[in-house]
């Protein structure tokens, strides 16, 4: 069966695996292509952002140069050469340097290229260079290249490193020199230069690189040297003799060879995806040979591989989820298919078993169609009704009923077909059937619907209850006799109880008279009686008092039988302590160790429980009277999930062979000469415990004390 199921499951599920694999491989390729498109779009955005940053900085430089060249104090000084105008100009330049610290130097040159004013930026502080430290810059390329410019035209030098006194300044200081010629009344008087700290431009571009350098922006000059490159030691190669090979064209010659002056070119190397875009800076740069800078975006293959891996993981999870859903679906389909086939097998087997059980059933079974025609009968039916199988099949079921019931049965049968249910027929009524010979007999009939194709048949299980009816009559007769006997016993018990109470009550008066007259004789005629006479009167008094005690106990027993329970929360520890205290007062010379578990409570009738505890504790007190170091303990135990109250002493104990006599009225296990008493206290105690639905028992050993146990559980009920 299991192999068949797995085979069916495999035929459905296994072909889906390659299909899912193909679909998700196509999705994977599509996602990778989408990621590459996103990366390309991001690279374009980064390139455009870089262009905007560069243009913004260059436009800002142009504006600053024109602003300074137009200072009133500058033209005033060049016209008058007055010291006051010179000082005002120097103050203006220092103020500007202070507010715009992204400039390294502001210098004013005369026509011959000598510095006449220079302001240095020293760690953010504007410093005026003394006259004796001003330099001759006439040999520098930018001084020569600015001279042809007209008024308010802007010169921006190549982007290189600052040189002071013929040497590259350390640490490296990238500089863009922005200049403009100074004209007074149409005559060239000199030039103004601002040394822009290009590191700010490079740092702003560098902020858009990823921390792991998987995605970077590089900036190149037209010769392919790095302004901003993969590492610091690859930058500014054109400024050093040993750096001529540190250029982009050396690292990526194919891409460099295919660059254009107007459009973007993308290139995939073994390790990176690169995009190179030219920047038209020749409108700013005076040397027209240097027309372009290049912005390069780099995305490492490792970054692309990581994205591809994440896509693969996500798609794998989705594929696994879909495969799991498909597997569950195929499993359920296979299970249902196998269940259907199994149901067909079971149905055929059930039909076989049904017919077998039908024939072996002890009760008569008849199956009729919706028109009441008998379709199936078992052997028991032919035996009960005395018909042959042939005589019953295809006949109306009404032939098995007495004539007087047939017409009504047709109505009931049609009504059952409208309210199909498994139920007894004619519940509450005595049903009778008819044998072939016309004799009738009582029956019980159970009905149940049976689907047969598109029809509803009805199965009737018929049991002959003739013998049961006879037994029921006998049981009813015995029950009536038992009820009558119980009523007689109840009357007798009430009469006995009333008689007992009456006798006990009526005997008290003559007993008091006997005791009283005996006491009077002893008091008034003591000198006339000899010792024997006095002894006889003392015995009469003792017997009368003992009889009085017995009557008192009988009255207590009678009252307990009639008493109603009023249960409440009782502090057993406190109640026991009070009883022991009363016993101590009655025998102050007794030294006994008493202990009670605390807290210890019970749900009981406090008055009746006090009677029971008084009897049990009094017994313990009495039977420890001859024991040294006597003790009494009261505590609880849990036995079979029930609370058991225990009263333990180390007194005289008793022989367990006579324990069954312990709780009978007037039963004693010790002689009254040893331990006085009426012998009814434990009977009273047992009646109290039974009244609470509990149980009372004891364990003891002669000479080693006794322990009495009782419960107050509502699940244990004894008639008091």
CA distance 229 to 216: 9
pLDDT digits (tens, 9 = 90+) for 690-716: 888 888 898 988 888 999 999 987 543
Do 223 and 80 have their domain in common?
yes
**Residue-level pLDDT at 232:** 87
Cβ atoms of residues 69 and 192 within 8 Å: yes
C-beta neighbour count of 400 within 10 angstroms: 24
Residue partners of 707: CB distance under 8 A and separation at least 6: 646, 647, 648, 649, 698, 699, 700
In the predicted structure, residue 196 carries a pLDDT above the cut 90: yes
Q: What is the CA radius of gyration of the chain?
A: 62
Do 609 and 646 have their domain in common?
yes
In the predicted structure, residue 363 carries a pLDDT above the cut 60: yes
Q: Nearest to residue 12, comparing CAs of 323, 344, 341?
A: 323
Q: Is residue 327 part of a domain?
A: no
**Residue-level pLDDT at 720:** 35
pLDDT digits (tens, 9 = 90+) for 365-400: 888 998 889 988 888 888 888 999 898 899 988 888
CA distance 457 to 447: 10
Q: Nearest to residue 680, comparing CAs of 609, 606, 618?
A: 618
Residue that terminates a domain, selected from 463, 482, 507: 463
Q: At CA 587, angle to CA 582 and CA 589, rounded to 5?
A: 130
Residue that terminates a domain, selected from 401, 431, 463: 463
List Cα–Cα distances, 165 to 111, 131, 134, 137, 643, in angstroms: 21, 16, 11, 10, 108
Do 519 and 618 have their domain in common?
no
Which percentage of the chain shows pLDDT scores above 70? Answer: 88
pTM over cut 0.85? no
State the DSSP code for 291. Answer: -
CA distance 177 to 102: 12
**Residue-level pLDDT at 664:** 62
Range from 268-282, 461-475, 558-572 carrying the lowest mean pLDDT:
558-572
Do 227 and 375 have their domain in common?
no
Q: Using CB atoms within 10 A of its CB, is residue 656 exposed (0-12), middle (13-18) or buried (19+)? A: middle
Do 604 and 705 have their domain in common?
yes
Pairing state between β 167-168 and 364-368: unpaired
Q: Nearest to residue 213, comparing CAs of 230, 190, 195, 237?
A: 230
Instruction: State the average pLDDT over residues 525-541.
Output: 77
Q: Is residue 312 part of a domain?
A: no
State the DSSP code for 140. Answer: S
Do 215 and 125 have their domain in common?
yes
Q: Is residue 596 part of a domain?
A: yes
Instruction: State whether residue 332 is helix, strand or coil.
Output: helix
In the predicted structure, residue 448 carries a pLDDT above the cut 80: yes
Q: Phi, psi (5° rounding) for residue 427?
A: -60, 130
CA distance 136 to 620: 130
Do 455 and 513 have their domain in common?
no
CATH of the domain at 596: 3.30.565.10
**Residue-level pLDDT at 546:** 61
Do 617 and 704 have their domain in common?
yes
Do 58 and 122 have their domain in common?
yes
Q: Is residue 307 part of a domain?
A: no
State how many domains the chain has: 4
Residue that terminates a domain, selected from 416, 434, 463: 463
Do 58 and 88 have their domain in common?
yes
CATH of the domain at 101: 3.30.450.20
CA distance 648 to 354: 67
Instruction: State the average pLDDT over residues 92-119.
Output: 93
Q: Is residue 345 part of a domain?
A: no
Domain coverage including residue 191: 45-302
- Torsion of Cα atoms, 678 then 681 then 683 then 686, to 10°: -170
Q: Compute the mean pLDDT over every residue in the chain, rounded to the nearest whole number.
A: 83
Q: Is residue 518 part of a domain?
A: yes
State the DSSP code for 136. Answer: B
Cβ atoms of residues 223 and 217 within 8 Å: no
Instruction: State whether residue 638 is helix, strand or coil.
Output: strand
Q: Is residue 647 part of a domain?
A: yes
pLDDT digits (tens, 9 = 90+) for 545-598: 666 666 666 666 666 666 677 888 999 999 999 998 988 888 888 888 999 998
Do 128 and 156 have their domain in common?
yes
Q: At CA 555, angle to CA 680 and CA 575, rounded to 5?
A: 70
Q: Is residue 559 part of a domain?
A: no
Do 295 and 380 have their domain in common?
no
Cβ atoms of residues 151 and 123 within 8 Å: no
Cβ atoms of residues 235 and 247 within 8 Å: no
């Amino acid at each position: 069966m299991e192999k068949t199921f797995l085979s069916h499951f495999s035929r459905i599920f296994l072909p889906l695996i390659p299909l899912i694999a193909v679909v998700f491989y196509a999705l994977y390729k599509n996602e990778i292509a989408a990621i590459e498109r996103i990366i390309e779009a991001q690279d374009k955005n980064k390139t455009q952002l870089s262009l905007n940053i560069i243009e913004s900085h260059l436009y800002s430089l142009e504006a600053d140069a024109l602003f300074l060249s137009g200072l009133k104090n500058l033209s005033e000084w060049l016209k008058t050469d007055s010291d006051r105008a010179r000082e005002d100009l120097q103050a203006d330049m220092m103020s500007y340097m202070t507010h715009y610290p992204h400039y390294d130097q502001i210098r004013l040159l005369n026509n011959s290229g000598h510095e006449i004013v220079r302001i240095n930026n020293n760690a953010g502080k504007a410093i005026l260079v003394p006259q004796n430290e001003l330099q001759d810059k006439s040999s520098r390329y930018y001084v020569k290249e600015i001279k042809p410019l007209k008024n308010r035209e802007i010169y921006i030098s190549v982007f290189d490193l600052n040189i002071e006194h013929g040497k590259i300044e350390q640490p490296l200081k990238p500089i863009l020199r922005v200049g403009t010629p100074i004209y007074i009344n149409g005559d060239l008087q000199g030039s103004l230069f601002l040394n822009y700290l290009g590191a700010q431009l490079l740092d702003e571009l560098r902020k858009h690189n990823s921390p792991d350098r998987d995605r970077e922006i590089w900036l190149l000059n037209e010769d392919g040297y790095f302004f901003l490159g993969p590492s610091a030691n690859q930058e500014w190669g054109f400024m050093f003799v040993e750096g001529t090979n540190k250029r982009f064209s050396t690292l990526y010659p194919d891409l460099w060879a295919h660059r254009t002056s107007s459009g973007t070119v993308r290139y995939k190397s073994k390790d990176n995806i690169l995009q190179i875009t030219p920047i038209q800076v020749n409108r700013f740069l005076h040397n027209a040979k240097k027309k372009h800078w290049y912005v390069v975006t780099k995305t490492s293959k490792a970054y692309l591989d990581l994205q591809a891996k994440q896509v693969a993981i996500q798609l794998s999870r989705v594929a696994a989820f879909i495969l799991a859903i498909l597997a569950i679906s195929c499993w359920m389909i296979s299970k249902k298919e196998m269940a259907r086939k199994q149901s067909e097998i079971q149905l055929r087997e059930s039909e076989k078993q049904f017919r077998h059980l039908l024939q072996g059933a002890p009760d008569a079974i008849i199956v009729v169609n919706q028109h009441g025609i008998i379709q199936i009968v078992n052997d028991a039916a032919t035996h009960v009704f005395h018909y042959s199988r042939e005589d019953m099949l295809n006949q109306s079921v009404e032939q098995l009923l007495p004539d007087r019931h047939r017409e009504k049965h047709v109505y009931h049968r049609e009504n059952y077909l409208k309210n199909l249910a498994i139920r007894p027929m004619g519940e509450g009524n005595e049903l009778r059937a008819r044998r072939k010979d016309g004799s009738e007999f009582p029956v019980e009939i159970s009905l149940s619907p049976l689907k047969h194709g598109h029809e509803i048949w009805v199965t009737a299980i018929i049991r002959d209850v003739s013998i049961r009816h006879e037994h029921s009559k006998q049981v009813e007769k015995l029950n009536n006799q038992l009820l009558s006997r119980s009523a007689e016993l109840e009357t007798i018990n009430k009469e006995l109880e009333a008689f007992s109470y009456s006798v006990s009550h009526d005997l008290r008066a003559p007993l008091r008279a006997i005791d009283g007259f005996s006491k009077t004789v002893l008091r008034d005629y003591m000198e006339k009686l000899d010792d024997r006479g006095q002894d006889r009167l003392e015995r009469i008094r003792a017997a009368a008092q003992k009889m009085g005690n017995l009557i008192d106990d009988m009255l207590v027993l009678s009252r307990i039988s009639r008493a109603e329970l009023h249960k409440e929360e009782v502090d057993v520890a406190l109640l026991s302590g009070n009883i022991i205290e009363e016993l101590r007062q009655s025998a102050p010379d007794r030294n006994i160790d008493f202990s009670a578990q605390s807290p210890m409570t019970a749900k009981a009738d406090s008055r009746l429980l006090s009677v029971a505890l008084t009897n049990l504790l009094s017994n313990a007190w009495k039977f420890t009277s001859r024991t040294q170091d006597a003790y009494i303990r009261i505590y609880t135990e849990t036995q079979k999930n029930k609370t058991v109250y225990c009263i333990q002493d180390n007194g005289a104990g008793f022989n367990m062979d006579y324990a069954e006599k312990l709780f009978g009225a007037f039963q004693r296990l010790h002689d009254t000469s040893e331990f006085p008493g009426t012998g009814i206290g434990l009977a009273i105690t047992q009646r109290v415990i039974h009244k609470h639905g509990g149980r009372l028992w004891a364990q003891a050993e002669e000479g080693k004390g006794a322990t009495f146990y009782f419960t107050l559980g509502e699940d244990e009920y004894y008639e008091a």
